[in-house]
Each structure stands twice: as C-alpha cells, then as structure tokens.
C-alpha cells in the first residue's frame, strides 16, 4: 500500500528522513502538503515565501516523476480522508518543535494509529532534538554556553542522499491548485520588491552554502558583524523552510573547520543558537507569548501600538539612521542583518520602552526567514526578559553601534534615501514596498529622532531602577 509523506516546513529531497525511508520502502509514495491553521496563521511575508517554496518543491518532485498533492483543512481530517481515498497504510513526516505543530502532530499521530495506520515521525529540523540534551541534574539548558559545550562534540548523522526514485501511485489523488490558495495576498506591493532577493529551493540553498564555504566563512568572525558587507551565509531563509537541513550546514561547517577556516567555529556556534532556540521553545512553549522571566511581568512596557513612536518605528522613520536602515532592509529584502535586528529590537524595547511582543509580531509579518524559535528568543533576549538574555541594563547605543559596525555609513546610505542627492535603487525600493497610505517619498526631509539615543537610554535605565530583576 502507498506511503503518504506529509511535507511541512521541509521543502527538500536530500537529507529528508521521511522521504528517504519512503523511497527505500519500494512502495508508491504520495507527497502531500496541507494548508491547515499553521499555514493560515502565518504573517504576510512568511506565508508568501512558503507559497513560493511549495510551488518550487512541487516542480522538483514533478521532475522526479512524482507530485505534491495540495489539500486544505485540519491536518487530521485531510490525512484521514487521503488514507481512505488512496488505501495508504502509512503516513510519515519530519518532526516540528513549535507548540502549534507539536499539539497538532500528537493528535494526528494518535488518531492515525487508532485506525491502524503506520504513523511515524522522523528527526531532521534541528541538529539535536530538544529532549536529548540535558544538564547533569536532568534539566533543560537555560544558558547558551553550557548548551554549546554539551553538544558541540556530538556526532551529527551524515546527511542522507535524495531518494533515487519516488514510485508514483496507480492514480493520483486530486490536488488543489496552489494559486487558488492565494498565499501571497497579504504581501500586496511588497511581493514584487522582495521577489528578486529570494533564493528559492534546495539547489539555490546548496549554492549559497557552497559559495559561503569557499568564500566568506574564513573571515566570518568579524565579517558577521559588518552590516554593509554580505559576510554571512544568508541561509536563514532556506533553513526556515527546510530547503536545506541544519545537518547539511553542520557538516559543511565541520569540513571548513578541518580545512583550517578561521571563522568556521563561530559559524557553527551560530547554527547551534538556532538549535538552542528550539530547545527553549520546546521546553518552554510560552516563549513567544509571555516573559520568560516572570520578574518582568508587571513591567510598565508601552503596549499601545497607536503611539507615534511605534508608528515611526514600524515605518522606519525613527530618525535614528541605523534603526531605520535595518527596518528598510527588511521591507526590501524580507530579511535583516543580525546586528541590525539587535539594534532595532533594543531601540523598540529600551529607548521606546515598548513591549517586545509588538516587535515580535511585526517581524513575524515581515520576515521571509521568520522562524518561531529564533524570532522569540531574539526578541526576549534583546528585551532582557528572556533566557540567557543580555543584561537588562545593556542598552545598545544605536549611534555607536553604527560607528562600529558601519563605519563608512555604507549600510545606512544603501537603505535610506532621504537627504541623498542620488539615492541608490535599494533605498528607493523601500518606497515601492510600503503601503501607499504611509504617504512617504524619498524627497521628504529625514526626521529628527523620535527619541534620542541618550535620552532613551536614560529613560530606560531610570525605569529599571529599583526593580528586582
């Protein structure tokens, strides 16, 4: 009987344990992607990028003589229906670790098993599954460095090859048309602007990895902070949708390390930050929802999104060039440099004293590399309320950060048009990406700071005084 392989955020053929096992089983394979609530609940940019990824993966499967069946509805109902239609005796998939997926997958597994179906999940979305790493006291890790020490010498299985063949069933079940799902609808004008920056699919991801390994990884230790340079791998976009696996990245990093590339260890550590984020999300599923450190409950964050400072931040018109440049990079490319993410998040949560959830949700709507674990950890870490957080009194100074990491202001000029006689296309593209209702033009004057760097820092420190953090 056929095997249904339930494809989720793992849009690749190689190092895909469920597809690999199905390919080896010598049975017909029916790959299916389900538009359920976890897809409908995505923000505008991640949903649009997912749609592109699913379309591309369907073509990849077609080139192998297979197909991607598309269905919409609650996953359990859809899978039960497909089992009935196709006579499949097995449903296999790769595990996910975010709370919504865990809850859904647990229910799906037990429902299918109750019907006598071989329901199996496989590892692959992280390097080290969250329950496999524990402290000597048998607890989960709350601090990154000991987590790194606990995992970095572990063996990570060599990536699996793509299945040689995926035998087709005698007849294919019906499929929705991807266009009818309109996954890109909420992106509106932004889609045309961001599209040229997207690197879609497994081949592009492998090319990115290969290019980085033969180039920038050597200088990554400093290069990872130079915001105007393209010194990082840019793989987050592909990792977020599983167009490449973390194990493929890990092994490439190890080979670079063996070849004596200096930045390799720093890069491997960053990959492990991604795992650490999943470790924390799995053990503390409230990470995206509420202060990880309860001492922060009751802290008087601004939560009113109508405030002029919040509007200025969202529109990238805070008057602080580094902050505005980072946000504009996000609107134009769908991604933002890590250094800028920290500065932008610090400015919102410290200088503007806004709740980190405002920023978390905004990124969730705008990032094509949105990741439920890394985004939550990134925001809570910067705000000070999270695990292993920056000390709460550490307020990134957006002026000195710019001087240090963008000394020639190239990054700022790349993204901010106002005040330049001949702004580059990158800076002008921002005005095509944003809603027309924001009524902004490159000829506008660049604004005065909505909250100045020193003034904001003092206000934040005063607010922290006498609190028991």
232 lies in the binding site for ligand FAD (CB under 6 A): yes
- Distance, in Å, from the CA atom of 34 to the CA atom of 108, rounded to the nearest integer, reads 13
Minimal distance in Å, beta carbon 266 to ligand FAD? 9
245 lies in the binding site for ligand FAD (CB under 6 A): no
- Distance, in Å, from the CA atom of 44 to the CA atom of 325, rounded to the nearest integer, reads 21
- Distance, in Å, from the CA atom of 279 to the CA atom of 293, rounded to the nearest integer, reads 16
Q: Which residues contact 399 (CB under 8 A, 6 or more apart)?
A: 320, 322, 453
| Structure tokens belonging to residue 376 | 């939550």
CA atoms within 13 A on the CB side of 207: 6
List, as residue ranges, the binding site.
Answer: 220, 232-236, 267, 369-371
Q: Which range, of 17-25, 83-91, 226-234, 326-334, touches ligand FAD by CB under 6 A?
A: 226-234
Minimal distance in Å, beta carbon 216 to ligand FAD? 9
- Distance, in Å, from the CA atom of 273 to the CA atom of 388, rounded to the nearest integer, reads 11
**DSSP class per residue in 295-355:** GGTT---B--TTSHHHHHHHTT-SS-HHHHHHHHHHHHHS---HHHHHHHHHIIIIIS-B-
Complex with ligand FAD: residue 10 or 369, whichever CB lies closer: 369
108, 224, 256, 389: residue in contact with ligand FAD (rule CB under 6 A): 224
Q: Please, which of residues 352-391 interact with ligand FAD by CB under 6 A? A: 363, 367, 369-371, 374-375, 378-379, 382
60, 121, 233, 333: residue in contact with ligand FAD (rule CB under 6 A): 233
- Distance, in Å, from the CA atom of 44 to the CA atom of 27, rounded to the nearest integer, reads 38
Measured at the alpha carbon of residue 389, what is the angle toward residues 296 and 156, in degrees to the nearest 5? 135
Complex with ligand FAD: residue 118 or 222, whichever CB lies closer: 222
Which residue lies nearest ligand FAD, judged by its C-beta? 378
Minimal distance in Å, beta carbon 134 to ligand FAD? 21
Binding mask 83-122 for ligand FAD (x = CB under 6 A): ----------------------------------------
93, 144, 273, 292: residue in contact with ligand FAD (rule CB under 6 A): 273
User: Smallest Cα–Cα separation from 456: which of 308, 314, 351?
Assistant: 351
Complex with ligand FAD: residue 70 or 256, whichever CB lies closer: 256
Minimal distance in Å, beta carbon 54 to ligand FAD? 19
- Distance, in Å, from the CA atom of 457 to the CA atom of 460, rounded to the nearest integer, reads 5
- Distance, in Å, from the CA atom of 422 to the CA atom of 228, rounded to the nearest integer, reads 18
Q: Please, which of residues 275-334 interact with ligand FAD by CB under 6 A? A: 277
Q: List the 69-72 sheet strands across, edge first.
A: 69-72, 29-35, 3-7, 90-94, 118-122
The DSSP call for residue 185 is G
198 lies in the binding site for ligand FAD (CB under 6 A): no
| Alpha carbon distances (Å) from 195 to 89, 334, 368 | 40, 9, 10
List, as residue ranges, the binding site for FAD.
Answer: 220, 232-236, 267, 369-371
CA atoms within 13 A on the CB side of 365: 14
Minimal distance in Å, beta carbon 462 to ligand FAD? 24
Q: What's 64-82 look like in SS3?
A: CCCCCEEEECCHHHHHHHH
338 lies in the binding site for ligand FAD (CB under 6 A): yes
Complex with ligand FAD: residue 88 or 342, whichever CB lies closer: 342
- Distance, in Å, from the CA atom of 255 to the CA atom of 212, rounded to the nearest integer, reads 13
240, 366, 368, 427: residue in contact with ligand FAD (rule CB under 6 A): 240
Minimal distance in Å, beta carbon 273 to ligand FAD? 4
234, 318, 349, 401: residue in contact with ligand FAD (rule CB under 6 A): 234
265 lies in the binding site for ligand FAD (CB under 6 A): no
The residue count for binding ligand FAD (CB under 6 A) is 27
**Pairing, β 29-35 against β 3-7:** parallel
239, 312, 427, 433: residue in contact with ligand FAD (rule CB under 6 A): 239
Complex with ligand FAD: residue 169 or 378, whichever CB lies closer: 378
69, 235, 241, 366: residue in contact with ligand FAD (rule CB under 6 A): 235
Report the helix count and the strand count for the chain, using DSSP H and E.
22, 5
Minimal distance in Å, beta carbon 217 to ligand FAD? 9
Complex with ligand FAD: residue 183 or 367, whichever CB lies closer: 367
Q: Which range, of 19-27, 265-273, 433-441, 451-459, touches ligand FAD by CB under 6 A?
A: 265-273
**Binding stretches for ligand FAD (CB under 6 A):** 224, 232-236, 239-240, 270-271, 273-274, 277, 338, 341-342, 345, 363, 367, 369-371, 374-375, 378-379, 382
């Amino acid at each position: 009987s056929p095997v249904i392989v339930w494809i989720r955020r793992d849009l690749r053929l190689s190092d895909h344990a469920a597809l690999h096992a199905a390919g080896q089983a010598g049975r017909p394979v029916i790959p299916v992607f389900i538009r359920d609530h976890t897809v409908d609940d995505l923000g505008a940019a991640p949903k649009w990028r997912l749609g592109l990824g699913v379309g591309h993966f369907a073509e990849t499967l077609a080139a192998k003589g297979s197909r991607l069946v598309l269905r919409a509805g609650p996953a359990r109902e859809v899978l039960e229906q497909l089992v009935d239609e196709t006579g499949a005796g097995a449903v296999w998939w790769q595990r996910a670790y975010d709370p919504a997926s865990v809850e859904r997958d647990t229910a799906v597994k037990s429902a299918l098993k109750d019907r006598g179906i071989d329901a199996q999940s496989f590892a692959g979305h992280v390097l080290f599954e969250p329950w496999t790493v524990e402290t000597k006291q048998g607890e989960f890790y709350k601090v990154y460095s000991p987590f790194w020490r606990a995992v970095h010498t572990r063996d990570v299985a060599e990536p699996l090859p793509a299945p040689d063949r995926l035998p087709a069933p005698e007849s294919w079940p019906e499929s929705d048309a991807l266009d009818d799902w309109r996954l890109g609808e909420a992106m509106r004008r932004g889609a045309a602007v961001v599209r040229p920056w997207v690197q879609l699919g497994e081949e592009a991801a492998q090319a990115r990895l290969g290019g980085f390994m033969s180039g920038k990884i050597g200088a990554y230790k400093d290069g990872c902070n130079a915001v105007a340079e393209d010194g990082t791998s840019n793989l987050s976009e592909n990792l977020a949708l599983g167009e490449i696996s973390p194990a493929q990245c890990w092994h490439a990093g190890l080979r670079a390390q063996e070849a004596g590339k200096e930045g390799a260890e720093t890069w491997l550590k960053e990959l492990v930050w991604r795992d650490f984020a999943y470790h924390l999300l799995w053990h503390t599923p409230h990470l995206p929802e509420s202060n990880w450190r309860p001492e922060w409950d009751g802290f008087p964050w601004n939560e009113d999104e109508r405030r002029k400072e919040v509007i200025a931040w969202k529109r990238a018109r805070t008057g602080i060039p580094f902050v505005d440049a980072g946000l504009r990079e996000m609107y134009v490319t769908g991604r933002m440099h890590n250094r800028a993410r920290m500065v932008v998040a610090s400015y919102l949560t410290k200088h503007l004293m806004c709740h980190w959830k405002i920023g978390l949700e905004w990124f969730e709507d705008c990032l094509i590399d949105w990741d439920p674990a890394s985004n939550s950890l990134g925001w809570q870490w910067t705000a000070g309320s999270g695990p292993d957080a920056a000390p709460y009194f550490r307020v990134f100074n957006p002026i000195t950060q710019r001087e240090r990491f963008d000394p020639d202001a190239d990054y700022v000029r790349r993204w901010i048009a106002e005040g330049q006689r001949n702004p580059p296309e990158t800076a002008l593209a921002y005005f095509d990406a944003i809603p027309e209702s924001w009524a902004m033009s490159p000829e506008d004057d660049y604004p005065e700071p909505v909250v100045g760097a020193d003034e904001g820092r003092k206000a934040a420190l005063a607010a922290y005084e006498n609190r028991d953090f």
